[in-house]
Amino acid sequence: MPELPEVETVRRGIEVQVVGRRVRRVHVGRERTVRRTSRQALIDGLTDATITAANRRGKYLLCPLDTGDELMVHLRMSGRLLVADAGTEPPPHTHVRLEFFGEPAQELWFVDPRTFGEMVVFDPGNIAVEMPELAKLGVDPITDGMSRGQLSRLLMDRRRQLKALLLDQHVVAGIGNIYCDESLHRAKIRPDRISDTLTAREVGRLHEAIIDTLTAAIEAGGSTLADTQYVDIEGQGGWFQVHHRVYDRAGQRCITCGKADIVRIVSAGRSTCFCPRCQR
């Protein structure tokens, strides 16, 4: 569910509302959420620890603790982080609750119906062993300020369909299904084009489209779809979905050209929407 703009929106909320707070107590309902280590490891790692910062790399939320360890949260398909007043009733599928010391009396909830998401406390000094996929993460277009030359290199060094390449977190970190399709549409390039066949002009368009799309989506607080699964830590939805031009619009008229209908194909095993007239 959440991609870079949604995770960034959550990160900003954590930065404002959670950073600086010390954990009094940890409740782990469903062990699957902490499967990388264990229920006890999360409890031991967080109890009495203070969250000192909120960082993001791709779709990974990384919160350093005053213990020297780091809390990693990945929302995967259906995860949500919510800040709530202590004593209020958590929604169904709330698997982890952190109670904080001090005022206001608040908690941080991890809610995740599909249970693909996870939380783990790890030692950043041992990242290659404890968080191997994080060590191999690709360039984050926003955090790392991905340059046009950098993107060009990533494209030219491979011979892959753009859809699959842009979704590959080991190449570019943070782009998911929505922002991949939206970026390719804005760049006017088909998702099944092969990366090393792009002209310099096309690389420039794609670079600009990725940065512009992600930046605009962050400013809009991300995309909240019809199922309202994604919300920020205060439970508020984003509104970038009103700017979607192709995502989930198969069969509908292209907003950009007004002449062709949006087509749906399956690429990289994912539903993929594009305009056959605008995108070449």
Partner DNA sequence: AAACAAACCTGTGCGC
Partner DNA sequence: TGCGCACAGGTTTGTT
Asked if 93 interacts with DNA (CB under 7 A), we say yes
**Candidate list 32, 153, 253, 259; residue touching DNA; CB under 7 A:** 32
- Quick one: tokens of 124? 């950043």
Catalytic residue flag (residue 270): yes
- How far apart are CB 277 and DNA at their closest, in Å? 22
Q: According to the binding rule CB under 7 A, does residue 58 interact with DNA?
A: yes
| Sign of the dihedral defined by the CA atoms of residues 229, 230, 234, 237, in that order | negative
Minimum distance from residue 179 beta carbon to DNA (Å): 8
Supply the minimum distance, in Å, between the C-beta of residue 50 and DNA: 27
* CA atoms of 220 and 216, how far apart (whole Å): 6
Residue 154: which H helix or E strand, with range? helix 148-156
The answer to whether 235 touches 82, Cβ cutoff 8 Å, is yes
Rounded CA-CA distance 107/105 in Å is 7
Q: Give yes or no for residue 133 binding DNA (CB under 7 A).
A: yes
Cα(157)–Cα(68) distance, integer angstroms = 37
**Token representation of residue 106:** 């608040």
Is residue 176 involved in binding DNA (CB under 7 A)? yes
Three-state SS at 187: helix
- The residue from 87, 251, 258, 269 that contacts DNA (CB under 7 A) is 269
Does 152 engage in binding with DNA (CB under 7 A)?
no
SS3 4: helix
The residue (of 13 and 176) whose beta carbon lies closer to DNA is 176
**3-state SS class at 238:** coil
Distance between CA atoms of residues 266 and 247, nearest Å: 13
Our finding on whether 218 is near DNA (CB under 7 A) is: no
Q: Which of 19, 41, 43, 77 binds DNA (CB under 7 A)?
A: 77
Calpha distance 183→159 (Å, rounded): 19
Read off the DSSP letter of residue 22: B
Q: Indicate which residue of 25, 30, 39, 270 is catalytic.
A: 270
- Which range binds DNA by CB under 7 A, 1-9, 36-44, 47-55, 254-262? 1-9
Using the minimum distance from each CB to DNA, give the nearer residue, 58 or 64. 58
Determine the Cα–Cα distance for residues 20 and 276; give it in Å rounded to an integer. Answer: 50
Is 161 a binding residue for DNA by CB under 7 A? The answer is: yes
Residue 191 in tokens: 């998702």
Residues 28 and 34: beta-carbon distance below 8 Å:
yes
59 is catalytic: yes
Q: Could you tell me how far CA 46 lies from the centroid of its own chain? A: 23
Q: Which of these ranges, 12-20, 47-55, 156-164, 204-212, lies near DNA under the rule CB under 7 A?
A: 156-164
Piece of the chain touching DNA by CB under 7 A; list 36-44, 203-211, 223-231, 251-259: 223-231
Question: Is 188 known to be catalytic?
Answer: no
For position 267 contacting DNA by CB under 7 A, the verdict is yes
Q: Does 115 bind DNA (CB under 7 A)?
A: yes
**Catalytic (active-site) positions:** 2-3, 59, 270
Residues at the contact surface with DNA, assessed by CB under 7 A: 1-3, 32, 58-59, 74, 76-78, 92-93, 113-116, 133, 158-161, 164, 167, 169, 176-178, 194, 223-227, 229-230, 241, 266-271
